[in-house]
Amino acid sequence: MTPLAMIVIVVLVDVLGFSIVMPLLAPFADRYGFSAAQIGVLFSAYPVCQLVAGPILGRLSDRYGRRPLLVYSQAGTALSFVILGLSRDFRVMLLARMLDGATGGNFLVAQAYIADVTPPEKRSHGLGLMGMAFGLGFVLGPLLGGAILTLPVPDDWRLRVPFLVAALFSTAAWLLVLFRLPESQGTRAGAHESARVISWRGVVDTATLPGVGRLIAVGFIAVFAFAAYEGTFALFLKRRMGWDERTASFAFAGMGLLTALVQGGLIRRLAPRFGEAKLVLAGLGLAFVGFAGLALGTNAAALGGGMALVACGQGLASPSLGGLLSRATPRNEQGAVFGVYASAQTLARMVSYTISNVLLGKLALAAPYWASCGAEALALVLALRPLRPSAEVEAESAVDSRAVEAS
């Protein structure tokens, strides 16, 4: 099995565990009498810690290799799920969430790994396969979590078992990394030695590499727009259409499946033909129209069309942005850049979840999606200027392409 296929499987197994747990965290905490504020803190602990840890973990992977950081990250995730499943104390559960966030470099290091093992012209396809694994994981995980809840176990353990099953999935991913995944930087002579030391100045330097800062900004804005959908759509459907949570879950699953199909299939054919830059523009444009459709839609057909456009737009733009970002980045900075990128996306979600719910509750049901339209338009403006990697990065990309094909 190729390293690319192996890392995609690792990501899929890891996402399955994560997506089993996330829909159940709030009911689990509520069962033990935690206040609404405490539940909110539990949800916020992970992204806050990941926001700080992301660039550091990415830089460490540049210096010491992808595989050691993936081993560390997977172990932290598995341990956090075990602690959550066995604990009833708020402080212990909070520490578990903080542990998961502080070690949560699984996906950003996986992105850098894919950049290592694919030639530049095929990176969007590789990142698209990773996006497909995400999509499938988020479709299958909640379904598996629902099935687990029907098992004949004591009532006190009914909500605990899914956390322990998630820990098993994370442990399986850890074992795959430990025993089957080769180090991706083995062919990158001098990569470890040339990676810069960890510092906040290094983070700033990374974000100001030619072309990198603008791509991170586009990614931040695009995720900000999409997170408004993630954070409000179930409530939007309930208030506008009268749909219950079960129907909303099917809508989310269908959208995740469509996004996965675009990322896993279409990207491979479209990227070589049109290039990542055009696919980013197309994806942002489709998402803009889709959010307008959601804001205006008053029936199932209109809402379904808007969801499909947003899903296709996200499926085109996300891996294409990752591909462009990897091609604009020197090989010894891939982990650091994807670490900053992951933290920027985490921050975008944190801000968007708050703003979009305030807009929905205080202004109008459609207000979050009109805000997303504005965000997508701003991202389009930023993405219109073509990416031109420096001569040094272009030369490295040519060397990388020959090295990867030779291996």
Given a contact cutoff of 8 angstroms between Cβ atoms, the answer to whether 231 and 352 are in contact is yes
Distance CA 193, CA 184 (A): 15
What is residue 306's predicted lDDT score, i.e. its pLDDT? 93
Region 144-173 average pLDDT: 88
Domain boundaries, the chain: 3-184+194-406
Global model pTM greater than 0.75: no
Is 1.20.1250.20 the CATH number for 3-184+194-406? yes
Q: Would the pLDDT of 196 be above 90?
A: no
Confidence of residue 107 (pLDDT cuts 50, 70, 90): confident
In tens, the pLDDT along 238-273 reads: 888 887 666 776 777 778 788 888 887 788 788 888
CB neighbourhood size of 92 (10 A): 12
Q: Tokens 């180090």 map to which residue?
A: 183
Residue 118 backbone class (left: φ over 0; alpha: ψ -120 to 50; beta: rest) = beta
**% the chain with pLDDT above 70:** 86
> Which of these, 246, 250, 252, 245, lies nearest to 230 by C-alpha position?
252
pLDDT band at 289 (very low <50, low <70, confident <90, very high): very high
Q: Which helix (H) or strand (E) element contains residue 272?
A: helix 267-274
Q: C-alpha angle with apex 97: 93 to 100, nearest 5 degrees? A: 140
